[in-house]
């Protein structure tokens, strides 16, 4: 559905126009954006059915706005807005979202101090240039600082799927640069820490830790700040440096000596809440814990620090995997030696949700299967969209049957077991989008909601639970419907959904798409209590997407799941038993 996209477009245009001090248009655009956002019906469908006329029936949408929408739906852009964007300094539009910094004030800052980016703004605040401006003053500067901090916290969080590859690239560039400049450094001990190592769904900043003797530290820092992607060096010292990359991400690098490496790794992996709890335990046991090591309170001698294992061990705790370190009961469990044995990448035997160009995937079924096969999987589920999902090129029955034929052919050529499946729309009344005689032929049926997101709680709950009662359904796809940074979960009673899933022995999907990660860690944890099973799937639309499974795996681990909880760790005969049973 393009509603959200189109609303964004108008919000952005409104910001730019306001910046240019255009009078009434920004308000009109915002009102239209709001209406489109809350429309509850696919705007593309309205346009398809009733043309531009239908668009003008949306409150707030007049002739010219309807023209823009139509142009966007036809061509993927609005010429006028493209030009507008070209004229406005790009950073400033983003900055207008900071509380207390609307377009007018932003323009003043840009005119008076040349502020164009977030780092310009932060510099101006830090050097107290803003309080000297007319209309601003000291109080205003203080408020702005708070607003900036808040903005960074809530807004600038990056998707795990973006941060993780970025950190990996950066670390390998740093290694290469260290090699070139012959720093003495243990390459196995350059590692990302912080929320990234905990595989949290969004990442504030990227924290990197390296181990080296003191004499080498500055050379490593030199290598770090000279990396080609670095735009600004915020801080450079011999234990800590901070930079901002060209695309805006902040990176901290710390270099510590070997005797503190484990302690620093533990400390900077966090979470803060986990660390605080751990430090309290240390105090109770007669120790002091810091990023330098674990020390005896009495003798002040270091008793651990080289490795994380030593630190947890000395505190009487089992080693706690980073994904669990959120102070959600993991420390108590570690003390009782009852931590879960988390599911691992090597446990996964297949991917049960992929798309091909039969519906909206980018690649042919053969290409997708080839890649899944090369990943060493035992099975893969081909689950293109069902017929009602028109925007995603959902398949009529004839086309689905043609796909079965191709799967039969491919099955002869490939080692991997190819499952005939479908991502079937759960329609508004809770029924599934293919007739029973089709559904019963499928090896797996993945049910999904893609419409009516703004339905009231009871309606959505009834819709999903009705689908869960359908014996043909095997897996509930992206159960909450949220899109990170874009759309909240539907208004739905999760306890009722989980109860219905458990009663009908359905499997819940953990969708690995970086923009979804759905179920999220907390809901996984809650659902596990209902005795539910999960499958970690990629919802791949291209071969490269198949690698996203690690993000879903991360959320599964953060939700305390073990191998047994995840059905795509089962060998095929056992998996088939589960899904076959559902169909009786
Ligand atoms: P983020 O960057 O917002 O996604 O979250 P983190 O967890 O990476 O937090 P960050 O970058 O502020 O700090 C990295 C780690 O350093 C954090 O996970 C735990 C540790 N840390 C930071 N501040 C404190 C603190 O005040 N107390 C304790 N005990 N640890 C802290
Ligand atoms: Ca961080
Ligand atoms: Ca940090």
Instruction: Give the range among 129-133, 485-489, 505-509, 536-540 with minimum mean pLDDT.
Output: 485-489
Please say whether the dihedral angle defined by the alpha carbons of residues 497, 502, 505 and 507, taken in this order, is positive or negative. positive
**Residue to probe by mutation, ligand 1, list 151, 207, 250, 289, most atoms within 8 Å of CB:** 207
pLDDT band at residue 512 using 50, 70 and 90 as cut-offs: very high
Mean pLDDT over residues 109-127, rounded? 87
Residue 514 has pLDDT above 60, yes or no: yes
Three-class SS state of 236: strand
Q: 351 CA to middle of ligand 3, Å?
A: 34
Average pLDDT taken over every residue of the chain:
92
Separation of alpha carbons 260 and 276, rounded Å: 18
Q: 269 CA to middle of ligand 2, Å?
A: 8
Name the percent of the chain lying above pLDDT 70: 98
- Residues near 314 by beta carbon (within 8 Å), at least 6 away in sequence: 287, 294, 303, 304
The more confident residue out of 562 and 100 is 562
- Per-residue pLDDT, 99: 73
Q: Report whether 199 contacts 524 (CB < 8 A).
A: no
Q: What is the DSSP string of 386-452?
A: BTT-GGGTPBPHHHHHHHHHHHHHHHHH-SSEEEEEEEEEB-TTS-BSS-HHHHTT-SEEEEE--S-
- Per-residue pLDDT, 485: 72
- Per-residue pLDDT, 361: 93
Q: Report whether 482 contacts 489 (CB < 8 A).
A: yes
Ligand with the closest atom to the CA of 251:
3
Give the tens place of pLDDT for each residue, 57-107. 998 899 999 999 999 998 888 988 888 877 766 667 677 777 777 777 888
- Per-residue pLDDT, 157: 84
Residue 315 has pLDDT above 60, yes or no: yes
Q: 254 CA to middle of ligand 3, Å?
A: 10
- Per-residue pLDDT, 156: 65
Give the tens place of pLDDT for each residue, 409-447. 999 999 999 999 999 999 999 999 999 999 999 999 999
Residue 532 has pLDDT above 70, yes or no: yes
- Per-residue pLDDT, 4: 83
Separation of alpha carbons 414 and 374, rounded Å: 10
Name the percent of the chain lying above pLDDT 90: 72
Residue 21 has pLDDT above 80, yes or no: no
Residue 137 has pLDDT above 80, yes or no: yes
pLDDT band at residue 49 using 50, 70 and 90 as cut-offs: very high
The more confident residue out of 110 and 543 is 543
- Per-residue pLDDT, 19: 77
- Per-residue pLDDT, 153: 66
Q: 203 CA to middle of ligand 3, Å?
A: 10
**Residue to probe by mutation, ligand 1, list 157, 266, 268, 291, most atoms within 8 Å of CB:** 268
Residues framing ligand 1 (Cβ under 6 A):
194-195, 203-205, 207, 267-268, 270-272, 275-276
Instruction: Give the range among 18-22, 366-370, 558-562, 568-572 with minimum mean pLDDT.
Output: 18-22
Separation of alpha carbons 377 and 349, rounded Å: 5
Residue 584 has pLDDT above 60, yes or no: no
**Residue to probe by mutation, ligand 1, list 191, 272, 273, 322, most atoms within 8 Å of CB:** 272
Nearest to 25 by CA among 16, 38, 36: 16
Length of the chain: 584
pLDDT band at residue 2 using 50, 70 and 90 as cut-offs: confident
Three-class SS state of 343: coil
Q: Can you tell me which atom of ligand 1 is nearest the CA of 194?
A: 8
Q: 150 CA to middle of ligand 2, Å?
A: 15
Q: Which residue's alpha carbon is nearest to atom 24 within ligand 1?
A: 272
Separation of alpha carbons 235 and 126, rounded Å: 14
- Per-residue pLDDT, 3: 86
Q: 248 CA to middle of ligand 1, Å?
A: 19
Indicate the Cα dihedral angle 412, 414, 416, 418, nearest 10°. -50
Mean pLDDT over residues 367-388, rounded? 97
Mean pLDDT over residues 9-19, rounded? 84
Residue 111 has pLDDT above 90, yes or no: no
The more confident residue out of 102 and 296 is 296
Mean pLDDT over residues 564-577, rounded? 97
- Per-residue pLDDT, 206: 96
- Per-residue pLDDT, 208: 98
- Per-residue pLDDT, 292: 96
Give the tens place of pLDDT for each residue, 140-192. 888 889 888 877 766 668 999 999 999 999 999 999 999 999 888 899 999 99
Query: What residue ranges define each of the domains in the chain, with the CATH number in brackets?
Result: 3-154 (1.10.150.110), 159-256 (3.30.460.10), 261-335 (3.30.210.10), 345-575 (3.20.20.140)
Residue 582 has pLDDT above 60, yes or no: yes
């Amino acid at each position: 559905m393009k509603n959200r996209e189109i609303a964004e477009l108008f919000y952005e245009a409104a910001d730019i126009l306001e910046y240019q001090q255009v009078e009434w248009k920004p308000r009109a655009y915002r009102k239209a954006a709001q209406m489109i956002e809350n429309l509850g019906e696919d705007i593309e469908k309205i346009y398809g059915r009733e043309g531009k006329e239908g668009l003008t029936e949306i409150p707030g949408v007049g002739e010219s706005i309807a023209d823009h929408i139509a142009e966007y739906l036809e061509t993927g852009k609005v010429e006028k807005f493209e030009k507008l964007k070209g004229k406005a300094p790009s950073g400033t539009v983003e900055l207008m979202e900071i509380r207390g910094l609307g377009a007018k004030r932003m323009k003043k800052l840009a005119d008076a101090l040349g502020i164009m980016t977030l780092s310009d703004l932060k510099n101006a605040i830090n050097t107290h240039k803003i309080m000297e401006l007319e209309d601003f003053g000291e109080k205003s500067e203080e408020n702005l600082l708070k607003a900036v901090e808040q903005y960074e916290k809530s807004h600038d969080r990056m998707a795990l799927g973006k941060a993780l590859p970025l950190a990996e690239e950066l670390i390998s560039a740093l290694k290469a640069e260290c090699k070139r400049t012959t720093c003495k450094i243990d390459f196995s001990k350059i590692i990302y820490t912080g929320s990234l190592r905990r595989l949290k769904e969004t990442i504030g900043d990227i924290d990197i830790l390296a181990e080296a003797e003191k004499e080498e530290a500055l050379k490593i820092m030199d290598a770090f700040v000279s990396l080609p992607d670095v735009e600004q060096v915020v801080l450079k010292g011999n234990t800590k440096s901070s930079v901002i990359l060209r695309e805006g991400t902040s990176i901290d690098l710390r270099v510590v000596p070997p005797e503190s490496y484990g302690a620093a790794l533990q400390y900077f992996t966090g979470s803060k809440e986990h660390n605080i709890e751990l430090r309290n335990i240390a105090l109770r046991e007669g120790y002091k814990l810091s990023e330098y090591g674990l020390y005896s309170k009495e003798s002040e001698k270091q008793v651990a620090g080289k490795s994380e294992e030593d630190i947890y061990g000395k505190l009487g705790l089992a080693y706690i995997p980073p994904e669990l370190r959120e102070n959600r009961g993991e420390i108590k469990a570690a003390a009782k030696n009852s931590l879960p044995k988390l599911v691992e990448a090597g446990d996964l035997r297949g991917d049960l949700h992929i798309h091909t160009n039969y519906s909206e995937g980018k690649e042919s079924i053969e290409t997708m299967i080839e890649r899944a096969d090369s990943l060493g999987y035992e099975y893969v589920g081909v689950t293109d969209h069902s017929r009602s999902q028109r925007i995603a090129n959902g398949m009529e029955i004839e086309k689905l049957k043609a796909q079965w034929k191709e799967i039969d052919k491919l099955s002869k050529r490939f080692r991997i077991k190819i499952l005939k499946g479908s991502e079937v729309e759960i329609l508004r009344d809770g029924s599934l989008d293919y007739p029973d005689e089709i559904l019963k032929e499928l090896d797996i049926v993945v049910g999904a909601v893609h419409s009516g997101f703004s339905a009231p709680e009871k309606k959505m709950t009834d819709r999903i639970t009705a689908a869960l009662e359908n014996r043909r359904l095997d897996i509930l796809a992206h159960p909450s419907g949220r899109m990170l940074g874009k759309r909240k979960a539907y208004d739905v009673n999760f306890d009722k959904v989980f109860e219905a899933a458990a009663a009908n022995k359905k499997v819940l999907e953990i969708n690995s798409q970086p923009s979804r990660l759905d179920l999220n860690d907390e809901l996984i944890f809650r659902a596990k209590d209902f005795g539910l099973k999960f499958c970690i799937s990629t919802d791949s639309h291209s071969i490269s997407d198949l690698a996203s499974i690690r993000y879903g795996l991360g959320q599964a681990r953060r939700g305390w799941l073990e191998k047994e909880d995840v059905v795509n760790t089962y060998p095929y005969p056992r998996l088939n038993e589960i899904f076959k049973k559902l169909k009786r």
